[in-house]
Amino acid sequence: MLNTTNHTIILRNYIILTATVMFTAIGLTDTFLAPTRVGQQDRINSFGQVLSAGLVSYSQNLGR
């Protein structure tokens, strides 16, 4: 009887662990590969180019 109970507990814990890892992996994938995040990163990259061009222009004005 004790042996069957141990197998049941081990199987239950394995299923819980597998489900936890699976849901965590899905959540992380959705977080980092979401289309809205990719679009936001493109906007940040574009803003960085505008900001660097503005800094170059400002430094050129200071150098004159």
Blockwise average pLDDT, block size 10, the chain, 64 residues? 73 91 84 68 74 79 72
pLDDT of residue 53: 80
pLDDT of residue 26: 83
pTM of the model: 0.47
Amino acid, res. 3: N
Task: Write out the two tokens for 17.
Answer: 């662990």
pLDDT of residue 3: 64
pLDDT of residue 18: 92
Beta carbons of 48 and 54 less than 8 angstroms apart: no
The rounded distance, in Å, linking the Cα atoms of 32 and 9 is 35
